[in-house]
């Protein structure tokens, strides 16, 4: 989703295979400054190759606290940091996360 200068990418439950399919499609531009991490930040999503192409400034991970799957995975968090993500927002830490934009700047709000 693009609004003026701001680009958002929502990958839902995409696995690294789905990410590879997106990268191989000339119809899909994955570059975005706000990235909603796939599959709750699990290690089967947000591959290094995919993140290099997205090149996000911010990442949002929707994940429940103390979940039985142990999401988000530390490897995924490290991959996000390695590609230069400025801030990782997680619902288990911050509660509800909202971002508003006028197309030129982002305003973040968190519940906690």
Q: Is the dihedral of CA 68, 72, 78, 79 positive or negative?
A: positive
Alpha-carbon gap, residue 14 to 27, rounded angstroms: 17
Q: Give the pLDDT confidence of 59-101 residue by residue, as tens digits.
A: 999 998 878 866 788 999 999 999 999 999 999 999 999 999 9
| Cβ neighbours around 30 below 10 Å, total | 18
Strands (E), the chain: 2-3, 6-10, 34-36, 58-61, 87-90, 97-101, 106-110
pTM of the predicted protein model: 0.91
Strand partners, 87: 58
Q: Tens digits of per-residue pLDDT, 2-25?
A: 999 999 999 988 989 999 999 998
């Amino acid at each position: 989703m693009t609004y003026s200068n701001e680009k958002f990418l929502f990958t839902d439950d995409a696995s690294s295979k789905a990410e590879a399919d997106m990268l191989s499609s000339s119809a899909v531009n994955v570059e975005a400054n706000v990235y909603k991490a796939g599959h709750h930040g699990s290690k089967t999503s947000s591959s290094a190759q995919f993140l290099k192409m997205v090149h996000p400034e911010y990442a949002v991970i929707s994940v429940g606290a103390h979940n039985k799957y142990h999401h988000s995975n530390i490897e995924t968090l490290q991959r996000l940091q390695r590609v230069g993500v400025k801030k990782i927002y997680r619902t288990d830490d911050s509660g509800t996360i909202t971002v508003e934009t006028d197309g030129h700047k982002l305003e973040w709000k968190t519940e906690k």
